[in-house]
Amino acid sequence: MGNGKDQGYLADIAMALHEAMPDTLLAIGPQAAEVFADYCHVKPGCALTQLATGDWLEQVSTAGRFDFIFIAGVLEYLPKRDAGILLASLRDVHAMQLYALVPIGKAWLNHASFWEYNELIGFGMERVNIYAKNGLPLALLKFDLRTYKTTPEWFNSKYWARPELWDKY
């Protein structure tokens, strides 16, 4: 697991922000906005929206599109179905880049849903890092629309189509 610190993910998010230099940010969760504090000082023109509490699905449905979204402390407190709908909505409609901090496994107390790493990979997310919080695994995952499902080289007309023959039939 990562560096073992409860907030070791802050360095990974800071690095991602530095690389992406997003203009619009969405923080979802009670403490999610803390990851953007330093970045907003460095890039004062950025627009930060925070959804700290409430009906996450309702709030997100009217939120618009963002360059960078970070969600933490939310998915594990929603019923699994609702959490999956929220994650898919963020990925498909609202985010160019989506980062999620999610507790992994069933050993966590007082959670409404429990997540396994492979379930999150099933949402098209990639692992950034795994940390330990109170001895339990906490995963930082990302979805980046710019790099997800790039067109492979073999999916090219020179390998399969022979377009020079199309008007001969």
pLDDT of residue 1: 45
d(Cα 36, Cα 43) in Å, to the nearest integer?
10
pLDDT > 70? residue 156 = no
Task: Tell me the pLDDT band of 160, cut-offs 50, 70 and 90.
Answer: low
Tell me phi and psi for residue 45, to 5 degrees.
Answer: -80, -5
Average pLDDT over residues 81-100: 94
pLDDT of residue 149: 61
pLDDT > 80? residue 7 = no
The fraction of the chain above a pLDDT of 70, given in percent, is 82
pLDDT of residue 97: 96
Average pLDDT over residues 38-62: 89
pLDDT of residue 162: 66
Whole-prediction pTM value? Answer: 0.82
pLDDT of residue 147: 65
pLDDT > 50? residue 25 = yes
* CATH homologous superfamily, domain 9-168: Vaccinia Virus protein VP39 (3.40.50.150)
Task: For residue 48, give both structure tokens.
Answer: 């930060």
pLDDT > 70? residue 146 = no
